[in-house]
Amino acid sequence: MVGGLVLVTLALGWGGCASTPAPVEEKPRDSAHLSDYYPLAVGNRWSYRVNGRGDKNVDVKILKEEEGFFHDSQGGQLMVDSFGIRDQKRYLLRGPVEPGRSWSNVVSVSSTERYEIVQAGIPCEAPAGTFQDCVRVEARNRVDQETTLVNTFTFAPGVGLVRIQVDAERGGRRIPQTWLELTSYQVQKPGQG
């Protein structure tokens, strides 16, 4: 699902502007399971507004489960294993869920993505609502000697992805590219069919 959403987000290019979220005080967290941050079940669906525009939307629905991966309507495939939430090439969230936790994903011979949990146990909001105990993950991938692509994913337990922000970083300055924010969702916990 994230894979499909990230591809859609990148395809939208340089549109829209966004502001950097204000610092939020983190609170002690309970021990939520990694699967809580992305409830995967056939039939679950999420709708996202692109760049704050009501006329640009992305709808994602989980269509089937095959060999442990949940396939969605945007071409994404996700699963949760004992290490974290992943697609076929990368971990998007790994435990333990705490600020400073970092990992790398080699996604091709010439591309290594570096991930870090930058905030955990924080509130987050989107048009779909206000959520508690959210996790913000930053993924960085160097495009060339001057530019790094920065994807920031915000997950809410029991909901999934609440926001994806894509920025290009050049000379220490972030240039907003595109973003998606959750407008509605319908999820069930695994095994609830």
Q: What is the dihedral of CA 57, 42, 151, 159, to 10 degrees?
A: 80
Convert the pLDDT of each residue in 89-144 to its tens digit: 999 999 999 999 999 988 888 888 999 999 999 999 999 999 999 999 999 999 88
In the chain, what are the domains? 34-186 (2.40.360)
Do residues 119 and 97 touch, judged by C-beta distance below 8 A? no
Sheet containing 129-142: which strands, arranged edge to edge? 91-94, 84-86, 77-80, 69-72, 53-66, 45-50, 173-186, 160-170, 147-156, 129-142, 111-126, 102-108
pTM: 0.82
d(CA 147, CA 85): 27
* Run of H or E including 41: none
Convert the pLDDT of each residue in 24-65 to its tens digit: 444 434 435 899 999 999 999 999 999 977 779 999 999 999
- DSSP string of the chain, one letter each residue: -HHHHHHHHHHTTT-----PPPP----------GGGGS---TT-EEEEEETTEEEEEEEEEEEEEETTEEEETTS-EEEE-SSEEE-SS-EEEESS--TT-EEEEEEETTEEEEEEEEEEEEEEEETTEEEEEEEEEEEEEE-SSSEEEEEEEEEETTTEEEEEEEEEEETTEEEEEEEEEEEEEE---TT--
Binned at pLDDT 50, 70 and 90, residue 5 comes out as low
pLDDT (0 to 100) of residue 52: 73
Q: Which two tokens stand for residue 175?
A: 């240039």
Q: Which two tokens stand for residue 33?
A: 């399971």
pLDDT (0 to 100) of residue 128: 97
